Amino acid sequence: MTKNLLLIFLILTAAFGGYRLKVLSLSGAFSACIVGISVGLGFGFNGLIILGMFFLTSSLWSNYKKQKKAMIEEIVQKGANRDWQQVLANGGVAAGASLLYWQTSAEVWLLAFFISIASANSDTWASEIGSLSKKAPVYIRTLKPAPPGTSGAVSLLGTIAGIAGSFVISFTALSLFDIEYSTFLLVFLFGFAGNLVDTLLGAYVQAVYVCPVCGKHMEKIVHCQVKTTLQKGKAFFTNDVVNFLSGFIAVILGFIYFQFTNG
């Protein structure tokens, strides 16, 4: 009982701190509490450390050299102040896996939790650090340079950052949980795979709009105080949907590999 109360206190404190530091909106803080409690039920303090590693590092990278990223924030759907959709897009799969592990204790849900967080961390690090690259990223559909922040564009710096982001989570999992090195490698590889899936979805299905006033391409549906026009992709496939799907697909791919190698 005391342990559970302490877990809830830590989760509420972290969510409130995120709200006060303006890295979470009010709805984002509430959603973070739900995700945190779910993870706490399934994996206790160690699970919360992994979740906290993602939210802490992603928030730090989001705010690192924020002024330099001002132009990027003008075209992306949302900024560093995460709302409930952003929180669930990155932590929803992890929360679901935690609750399923809480009920079943099946190893596969532990794997799902690790991969989903590693995928979210890989994608966030790639986006936030890659946007600081001195060289313009390359859009994978045309193999031509694209403005920083363009969904579906990659850079060497962003790719290295994505690899590092997945490694940090998989290594933390290896340090805190009784898992084998093969599981560590599985989480690392499929965590980074989630980042690659995000890039593909961003290039081929994510909604991209154009502002009729300034002509800029962006994720926002309103710019220059007018409604933007859908240029490519589907309106349903917002950045949040793409983030959720990339983590979910990474988990499914990890499931398939896990079943194949352990079947």
Q: Please write the tens of the pLDDT for every residue from 42-66.
A: 999 999 999 999 988 988 888 777 6
List the single range of 64-68, 93-97, 204-208 with lowest mean pLDDT: 64-68
CB of 52 within 8 A of CB of 172? no
Asked whether residue 77 carries a pLDDT value surpassing 60, the answer given is no
Report yes or no: 192 and 162 within 8 Å, Cβ to Cβ. yes
* pLDDT confidence of residue 97: 97
- The residue with greater pLDDT, 161 or 21, is 161
Range in 24-33, 162-171, 222-231 the model is least confident about:
222-231
What pLDDT sits at residue 241? 92
Phi, psi of 211 (to 5 degrees): -80, 125
26-35, 40-49, 163-172, 253-262: least confidently modelled range: 253-262
Q: What is the mean pLDDT of residues 155-173?
A: 96
Between 70 and 181, residue with greater pLDDT: 181
Q: Is 83 helix (H, G, I), strand (E, B) or coil?
A: coil
CA distance 36 to 91: 9
pLDDT of residue 162: 96
At residue 209 the predicted structure's pLDDT band, cuts being 50, 70 and 90, is confident
Mean pLDDT of 122-145: 90
User: What's the pLDDT band for 259 if we cut at 50, 70, 90?
Assistant: confident
H/E segment holding residue 218? strand 217-218
Does the pLDDT of residue 229 top 60, yes or no? Answer: yes
The CA-based dihedral angle spanning residues 61, 32, 150, 148, taken in that order and rounded to the nearest 10 degrees: -20
Instruction: For residue 82, give the DSSP letter.
Output: B
- Which one is predicted more confidently, 158 or 64? 158
Amino acid at 259: Q
Residue 76: CB atoms within 10 Å: 17
Q: What mean pLDDT is predicted for residues 62-78? A: 65
pTM for the structure as a whole: 0.91
What's the Rg (C-alpha) of the chain? Answer: 18
- Paired with 14 in beta bridges are none
Backbone angles phi, psi at 48, to 5 degrees: -65, -30
**Residue 182: closest CA among 123, 132, 114, 233:** 114
The answer to whether residue 200 scores a pLDDT higher than 90 is yes
Residue 251 has pLDDT above 90, yes or no: yes
Q: How far apart are CA 49 and CA 123, in angstroms?
A: 19
For residues 209-217, give the mean pLDDT: 80
- Tell me how far apart the alpha carbons of residues 34 and 8 are, in angstroms, rounded to a whole number: 10
**Residue bearing tokens 């290896």:** 174
Predicted local confidence at residue 122, as pLDDT: 97
Report the C-alpha gap between 3 and 217 in whole angstroms.
Answer: 50
Helices (H) and strands (E) in the chain, counts: 8, 8
* SS3 labels along 14-75: HHHHHHHCCCECHHHHHHHHHHHHHHHHHHHHHHHHHHHHHHHHHHHHHHCCHHHHHHHHHH
What rounded mean pLDDT belongs to the chain?
A: 88
More confident residue, 36 or 133: 36
